[in-house]
Structure 1
């Protein structure tokens, strides 16, 4: 597999930090896989920029932060403008449909999945905060050859408050079932 890097970015309060923690926990459940997780957020707890990074590698991880992501999630325009160009050549961007991607380099346009993540969370689950679980479902579908969907579900159950488990699993499954255009070969990368 080699090193595989994921960066989840958005605004504080969108749950990207929790999504990163859950991904890392799921990765720990895989035999012979090393995992590193880091996070940063602005001084504001809600609304400021936030990002979580997860690195998977079968070898020892000598640098724990993302260098150039294989998979990038952007839920805000600010996140997209800050990180949208910082991607491996074959990397994939998952962006909310409200993000203006017109300024992205043309060679990356086929690697962008623009989905109604925030809108689906608000309308189908009833809580925009559920966007992070929809994102995890999308990621799980992309990386399922290396990290079991069941491991990610188990990590969700362990990390979210017990009374929210059903809503979180519902949002996860909604994301997993979204139709992705197979324009990128990232499906087999990890």
Structure 2
């Protein structure tokens, strides 16, 4: 992987920025790569559109902004619709399949859905939706490494929630691995 641009999109309160932070931390601290994180959010703290942009590279990042992402993690339909046309021609989209309704894309676009909210609710806390998505993202893209991302999760979430968040990550990862074994779902 030379350089990968990642856009994470959703609503305030879904943990979009934390997701980007964990990816950047996992890459730069636990995987010996370079990473930048930029973020954008509306004036309201919860419920408004927000996004995090992460650039991960094997070499120094010369330009920190995402221009044509190869990876999108979409947790809201509004975010998906806003950013779908900015994606690279050949890209991977992972989305919350109960909240996002992806459009048909070209043959070089891989799209994978997960019922992350339902999985988070089964764990007893809807708030770990973002961490379920993060595990799923890693399973579908092999972006950094499972171990580095687990360390990023463990060192970034609030004290006392580490076990729950690691379970959420593992559930998302396992769902992705099972989906990959069956067959990629094209949208």
TM range (shorter): 0.7 to 0.9
Aligned to 1:52: 52
- For residues 14-25 of structure 1, the aligned pairs below 5 Å read 14-25=14-25
1:5 aligns to what? 5
Work out whether 1:180 is the aligned partner of 2:179: yes
Specify the SS of the correspondent of 1:156.
helix
Shift of 1:60: 2.4
Matched, 1:138 2:136: yes
| 1:105-184 equivalence runs, <5 A | 105-107=104-106, 111-122=110-121, 124-144=122-142, 147-178=144-175, 179-181=178-180, 182-183=183-184
Deviations 1:31-66 (A, max 9, x none): 3x2111111111111101111111111222121011
The verdict on how the C-alpha distance between 1:133 and 1:97 changes in structure 2, with shifts beyond 3 A counting, is: same
Contact 1:14-1:128 at 8 Å conserved across structures? no
Correspondence for 2:80: 80
- Secondary structure of 2:40's partner? strand
User: Which moves more between the two structures, 78-87 or 167-176?
Assistant: 78-87
1:38–1:65 contact (8 Å) kept in structure 2:
yes
The answer to whether the Cα contact below 8 Å between 1:13 and 1:46 also exists between their aligned partners in 2 is yes
In structure 2, distance between residues paired with 1:126 and 1:106:
34
Q: Secondary structure at the match of 1:13?
A: coil
| Distance change (3 Å), C-alpha of 1:160 and 1:106 | closer
CA–CA distance in 2 between the matches of 1:163 and 1:106? 41
Shift in Å, 1:142: 3.3
Could you tell me how far 1:92 is from its partner in structure 2?
Answer: 0.8
Considering only aligned residues, what root-mean-square deviation do their CA atoms show, in Å?
1.9
Which consecutive unaligned segments of at least 5 residues does structure 2 have? none
Partner SS, residue 4 of structure 1: strand
- Report the CA distance shift for 1:159/1:36 in structure 2 as closer, same or farther (over 3 A): same
SS of the counterpart of 2:36? strand
Residues 2 and 59, structure 1, Cα contact 8 Å, conserved in 2: yes
Q: Is the 8 A contact 1:110 1:183 kept in 2?
A: no
How does the TM-score come out when normalised to structure 1?
A: 0.86
CA distance in 2, matches of 1:87, 1:105: 13
